[in-house]
């Protein structure tokens, strides 16, 4: 029992948290768990059905064969006094052919005959030869001959059930049983023949063989326990009984296997079946001890949806020191964690409610009932591990929302804990309790949050960061700090996808504080640890730039030291190219290269000049129009007005400028607006005195017009790839102008040569 105690909370050192993190990237239930038997001790690990049954059931069922082999090999290792390596035993028992085993047999019988070639260096074969274990090899040969009848050859193959052959093998096996000297080999023959009879559907014969053969041997004891082969045979007897409709006897035997044989525990649980209350009562009557009766309740309480308190009470009454009691306690607490942790602030609580029905309606009452039970158990002092129950009592108080009582209980428990793993678990619970107690927002609370982050257990228990993050997010939201709330959950990259005014302003407020606290300093750093103060000004300025509030944007930009302006990118927004190419390398030339601040300054200057030089303003309007076009989603300098461009948007232009992207909470915003550019280009066209300039403005305006068509409801994509969409009349105003009014210009010829879209229109 003591071992289990250590196991159970040694258990809790927990590199494998139970629940998925609360972060936006996880799937499945999104909650927290701090009572984690992830790294179970050897004892507890064999209780698969009791812990996170639904998750690990498949693993255990899938690995039954592997575990069975491992158990068998382990017994052979003991038999050879550890003279043989497990891998060598595995080879002889599971891999080599009957022919090789027969050669091995001959080799054992003949001093001169060496071991078969493939077993020359096999330690198990050497052991068998050295000790002249002919009967063992005879058994292995017999087992190998049984294999085709009992092991499916593949998922798609039908089991070949050759009953006469199986019956003959049974007879032969019984004879060999009688001749065998050792109980180990006799037990193994018993296993082979009972299994053959079971699989041959000779159920009565299987039971008869069991009842005839087993009393004729003393079941070998290995390391203080009955040989696991005994439970394998028992399992086949139970299977035969079940097939004959003897549910009660079968289930009783399965419960013994569940109790005693870890490698068959999962399958025993699966096979345990009682139809009604009468069968349950009969099964209880079959039990020889309170421990066995407690096992029945443990099996019943292990069902995925059980409310195991009822079974726990029964186990406690029957056998208070029973190990299942604690395992069920852990199971129930884990379920309650899903219901109750972060009820007020888990940012996925609506999702959990919708898809997982959490919290369950009864969780509030149930936690109180379980708490009462834990207290009773602790007070009566009948259980094996009192400190575990004491600790559980404190955690249940915490789950019930009584942080004060939980804190007091934890303080008391601290003095009585001696086990290292339990002490660590207590520290984790205390951290959770501290996080829960954060209910106001001020510098010292944030400082405390920072201190919690620095705790060495913080990164070890994956759900602690989630809990702290979600708790602070809620606190920030309640106290009007959208920026801090955002940063608690998301990265600056997420913000750049679609910068939000209020988030940026809030974070800048923090940045402006003369001495931000440590947690705030963390929030102001990006994923690489760079301070984001200037980047926040850049982001805010860009937001205004997207709205074409040039003066305001520049005024914000002036908060960034001039020398740093280039850090946020340089662009060539005034370059005119007939064909657009987003990913083409730009020729770098400092003459027409601008950073964002310089671009703002230049645009303001162009606006001023356009107004001032009334008679000669076409060129200014043209330059502004070109720049706005180039800085849009469709232009080569899109980075001047945006941080991230998704190619997928091109196929969804009609869905608007903000579209969902990955896990970005506000989606991804693109600068799709080309109306403003079109307006300036139209001004340039109408005011231009030079036909070449007018032609250029008209062509750029036509590009805007074509994009507006793609974004319009009337747009129909071409039926197949690479076809040029035909422009309807409403959207070919500028193409018409270009063809009609500027056909004599040089630029017209240039466009005709280079632009397929226009050529398709002009030559139509």
Partner 1 sequence: MKATRFFLLLLAGSAIWGCRTDAPPPSSAVYHWESTFAPTPEEQQWLDDQHINRIYLRLFDIDWDESLQEAVPVGVLQVPDSVATQTREIVPTFFLTNRSLEHLTTVQTDTLAMRLLRKARLKLRTQLGNPIVPEWQFDCDWTENARDRYFQFLETMNRELKKEGLSISVTIRLHQVKYYRRTGVPPVDRGMLMFYNMGELADPQTANSILDLHTASAYYFNFDTYPLPLDLALPLFRWGVVLRDGKMVRLLNGLSTPDLQDTSRFAFRDTTHVEVRKSTYLDGYFLYSGDEIRLEWVSAGLLQSAARDLARVLPRPPKWVSFYHLAPETIKHYSHEELETIFRLLEN
Q: Is 58 in the site for partner 1 (CB under 8 A)?
A: yes
Q: Smallest gap, in angstroms, from Cβ of residue 234 to partner 1? A: 22
Q: Binding marks (x or -) toward partner 1, 20..49, rule CB under 8 A?
A: ------------------------------
Beta-bridged to residue 30, according to DSSP, are 20
Q: Is 357 in the site for partner 1 (CB under 8 A)?
A: yes
Q: How many other C-beta atoms are found inside a 10 Å radius of the C-beta of residue 494?
A: 19
**What's the CA gap between 38 and 45, in Å, rounded?**
9
Q: Is 153 in the site for partner 1 (CB under 8 A)?
A: no
591 burial level (CB within 10 Å; 0-12, 13-18, 19+): exposed
Among 162, 310, 317, 379, binds partner 1 (CB under 8 A): 310
Taking the mean position of all CA atoms in its chain, how far away is CA 761?
A: 53
Question: In degrees, to the nearest 5, what angle opens at C-alpha 358 toward C-alphas 356 and 362?
Answer: 130
Cβ 170 vs Cβ 205: under 8 Å: yes
Segment contacting partner 1 by CB under 8 A, of 150-158, 213-221, 376-384, 493-501: 150-158
Q: Smallest gap, in angstroms, from Cβ of residue 69 to partner 1? A: 14
**What's the CA gap between 504 and 520, in Å, rounded?**
14
Q: Smallest gap, in angstroms, from Cβ of residue 275 to partner 1? A: 5
**What's the CA gap between 660 and 658, in Å, rounded?**
7
Q: Is 155 in the site for partner 1 (CB under 8 A)?
A: yes
Question: DSSP for 634-692?
Answer: TSTTGGGT-S---GGGGGGGGG-SEE--TT-TT-EE-----HHHHHHHHHHHHH-SSHH
Q: Is the peptide bond before 359 cis (omega within 30 degrees of 0)?
A: yes
Please work out the total of residues on this chain that contact partner 1, with binding judged by CB under 8 A: 23
**What's the CA gap between 429 and 703, in Å, rounded?**
63
Q: Is 273 in the site for partner 1 (CB under 8 A)?
A: yes
* Dihedral angle over CA of 44, 49, 50, 51, nearest 10: 80
**Residue 310 or residue 547: which is nearer to partner 1 going by CB?**
310
* Dihedral angle over CA of 335, 340, 345, 347, nearest 10: 30
Q: Binding marks (x or -) toward partner 1, 519..558, rule CB under 8 A?
A: ----------------------------------------
Q: Is 355 in the site for partner 1 (CB under 8 A)?
A: no
Q: Residue 308: what are its φ and ψ, rounded to 5°?
A: -75, 0
Among 92, 202, 274, 535, binds partner 1 (CB under 8 A): 274
Cβ 31 vs Cβ 352: under 8 Å: yes
Question: DSSP for 293-327?
Answer: HHHHHHHHHTSTT--THHHHHHHHHH-TT-HHHHH
Q: Smallest gap, in angstroms, from Cβ of residue 277 to partner 1? A: 5
Q: How many other C-beta atoms are found inside a 10 Å radius of the C-beta of residue 450?
A: 16
Q: Is 306 in the site for partner 1 (CB under 8 A)?
A: yes
Q: Binding marks (x or -) toward partner 1, 279..298, rule CB under 8 A?
A: xx------------------
Q: Binding marks (x or -) toward partner 1, 362..401, rule CB under 8 A?
A: x---------------------------------------
Q: Smallest gap, in angstroms, from Cβ of residue 539 to partner 1? A: 38
Segment contacting partner 1 by CB under 8 A, of 103-111, 152-160, 436-444, 582-590: 152-160
Q: Smallest gap, in angstroms, from Cβ of residue 462 to partner 1? A: 24
Q: Is 194 in the site for partner 1 (CB under 8 A)?
A: no
Q: Write out 235-283 in H/E/C secondary structure.
A: HHHHHHHHHCCCHHHHHHHHHHHHHHCHHHHHHHHHHCCCCCHHHHHHH
Q: Smallest gap, in angstroms, from Cβ of residue 62 to partner 1? A: 5
Q: Is 303 in the site for partner 1 (CB under 8 A)?
A: yes
Q: Is 158 in the site for partner 1 (CB under 8 A)?
A: yes
Q: Smallest gap, in angstroms, from Cβ of residue 326 to partner 1? A: 21
Q: Report the site for partner 1 in 91-130 (rule: CB under 8 A).
A: none
Segment contacting partner 1 by CB under 8 A, of 303-311, 400-408, 569-577, 734-742: 303-311
Q: Is 663 in the site for partner 1 (CB under 8 A)?
A: no
Site of interaction with partner 1 (CB under 8 A): 58, 62, 155-156, 158, 273-277, 279-280, 300, 303-307, 310, 357, 360-362
């Amino acid at each position: 029992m003591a071992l289990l105690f250590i196991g159970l909370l040694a258990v809790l050192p927990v590199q494998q948290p139970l629940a998925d993190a609360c972060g936006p990237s996880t799937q499945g239930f999104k909650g927290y768990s701090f009572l984690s038997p992830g790294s179970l001790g050897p004892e507890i690990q064999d209780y698969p059905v009791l812990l996170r049954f639904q998750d690990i059931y498949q693993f255990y069922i899938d690995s039954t064969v592997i575990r069975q082999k491992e158990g068998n090999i382990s017994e052979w290792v003991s038999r050879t006094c550890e003279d043989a390596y497990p891998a060598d035993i595995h080879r002889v028992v599971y891999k080599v052919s009957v022919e090789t085993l027969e050669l091995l047999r001959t080799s054992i019988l003949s001093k001169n005959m060496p071991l078969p070639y493939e077993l020359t260096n096999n330690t198990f074969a050497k052991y068998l030869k050295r000790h002249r274990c002919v009967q063992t090899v005879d058994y292995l040969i017999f087992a190998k001959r049984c294999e085709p009848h009992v092991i499916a050859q593949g998922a798609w193959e039908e089991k070949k059930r050759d009953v006469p052959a199986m019956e003959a093998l049974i007879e032969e096996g019984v004879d060999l049983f009688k001749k065998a000297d050792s109980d180990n080999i006799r037990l193994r023959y018993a296993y082979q023949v009972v299994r053959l009879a079971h699989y041959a559907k000779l159920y009565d014969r299987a039971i008869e063989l069991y009842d005839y053969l087993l009393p004729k041997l003393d079941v070998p004891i290995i390391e203080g326990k009955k040989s696991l082969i005994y439970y394998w045979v028992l399992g086949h007897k139970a299977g035969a009984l079940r097939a004959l409709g003897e549910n009660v006897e079968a289930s009783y035997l399965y419960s013994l296997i569940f109790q005693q044989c870890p490698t068959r525990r999962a399958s025993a649980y699966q096979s345990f079946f009682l139809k009604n209350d009468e069968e349950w009562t009969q099964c209880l009557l079959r039990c020889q001890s309170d421990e066995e009766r407690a096992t029945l309740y443990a099996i019943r309480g292990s069902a995925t949806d059980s409310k195991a308190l009822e079974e726990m009470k029964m186990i406690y009454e029957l056998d208070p020191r029973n190990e299942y009691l604690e395992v069920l306690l852990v199971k129930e607490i884990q379920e309650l964690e899903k219901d109750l942790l972060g009820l007020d602030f888990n940012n996925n609580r609506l999702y959990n409610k919708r898809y997982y029905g959490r919290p369950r309606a009864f969780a509030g009452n149930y936690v109180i009932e379980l708490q009462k039970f834990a207290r009773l158990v602790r007070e009566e002092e009948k259980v094996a591990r009192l400190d575990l129950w004491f600790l559980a009592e404190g955690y249940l108080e915490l789950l019930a929302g009584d942080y004060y009582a939980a804190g007091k209980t934890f303080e008391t428990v601290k003095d009585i804990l001696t086990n290292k793993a339990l002490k660590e678990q207590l520290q984790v619970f205390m951290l959770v309790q501290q996080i829960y107690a954060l209910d106001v927002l001020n510098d010292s609370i944030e400082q405390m949050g920072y201190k919690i982050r620095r705790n060495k257990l913080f990164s070890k228990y994956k759900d602690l960061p989630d809990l702290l993050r979600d708790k602070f997010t809620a606190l920030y939201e309640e106290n009007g700090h959208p920026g801090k709330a955002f940063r608690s959950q998301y990265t600056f990259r997420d913000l750049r996808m679609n910068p939000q005014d209020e988030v940026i302003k809030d974070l800048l407020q923090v940045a402006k504080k003369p001495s931000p606290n440590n947690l705030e300093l963390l929030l102001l750093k990006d994923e690489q640890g760079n301070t984001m103060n200037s980047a926040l000004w850049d982001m805010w300025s860009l937001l205004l730039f997207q709205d074409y509030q040039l003066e305001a944007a520049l005024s914000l930009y002036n908060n960034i030291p001039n020398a740093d302006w280039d850090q946020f990118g340089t662009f060539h927004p005034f370059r005119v190219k007939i064909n657009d190419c987003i990913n083409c390398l730009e020729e770098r030339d400092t003459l027409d290269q601008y950073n964002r601040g310089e671009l703002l300054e230049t645009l303001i200057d162009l606006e001023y000049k356009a107004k001032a030089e009334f008679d000669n303003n076409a060129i200014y309007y043209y330059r502004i129009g070109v720049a706005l076009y180039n800085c849009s989603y469709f232009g080569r300098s899109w980075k001047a007005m945006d941080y991230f461009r998704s190619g997928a948007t091109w196929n969804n232009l009609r869905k608007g400028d903000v579209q969902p992207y990955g896990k970005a909470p506000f989606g991804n915003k693109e600068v799709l607006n080309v109306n403003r550019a079109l307006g300036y280009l139209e001004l340039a066209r109408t005011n231009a005195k030079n036909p070449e300039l007018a032609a250029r403005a008209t062509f750029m305006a036509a590009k805007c017009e074509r994009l507006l068509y793609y974004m319009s409801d009337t747009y129909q994509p071409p039926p197949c790839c690479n076809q040029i969409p035909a422009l309807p009349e409403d959207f070919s105003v500028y193409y018409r102008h270009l063809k009609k009014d500027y056909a004599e210009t040089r630029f017209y010829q240039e466009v005709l040569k280079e632009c397929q879209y226009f050529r398709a229109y002009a030559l139509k």
